[in-house]
Homo-oligomer: A and B are copies of this chain.
Amino acid sequence: MLKREQLKNITPQEFRSLVREGKWTEDTTEICSGYSQANVVIVPKEYAFDFFLFCQRNPRPCPVIDVTEPGDPFPRLMASGADLRMDIPKYRIFKNGEIVDEPTDILDYWRDDLVGFLLGCSKSFVWALKSANISWRRYGAYQTSIACRSAGRFRGNMAVTVRSFSNSNDAIRAIQISSRHTFMHGPPIHIGDWREIGIKELGKPDPFNPYRPILEPPKPGEVIMYWGCGITPQMVAIESKIPFMITHAPAHMFITDKFVEELSVI
A: which residues have CB within 8 A of B?
A: 45, 48-49, 52-53, 56-57, 59, 64, 66-67, 69, 77, 115, 149, 151-152, 179, 182, 187, 265-266
Contact = CB atoms under 8 A, between A and B. Distances in A.
A149 B76 CA distance: 11
A151 to B, nearest CB: 7
Contacts of A49: 45, 48-49, 52, 115
Contacts of A152: 69
A47 to B, nearest CB: 10
Nearest to A182: B182
B57 A69 contact: no
6 contacts: A49-B52, A49-B115, A52-B52, A56-B64, A57-B77, A182-B182
Contacts of A48: 49
Contacts of A67: 53, 56-57
Contacts of A56: 52, 64, 66-67
A266 B52 CA distance: 17
A183 B67 CA distance: 19
A179 B53 CA distance: 24
Interface centre among A49, A53, A69, A265 (most CB of B within 10 A): A49
**Most B CB within 10 A of own CB, among A52, A59, A152:** A52
A175 to B, nearest CB: 11
Given A52-B53, A69-B151, A77-B149, 19 more contacts: A45-B49, A48-B49, A49-B49, A49-B52, A49-B115, A52-B52, A52-B56, A53-B67, A53-B69, A56-B64, A56-B66, A56-B67, A57-B67, A57-B77, A59-B266, A69-B152, A179-B265, A182-B182, A187-B265
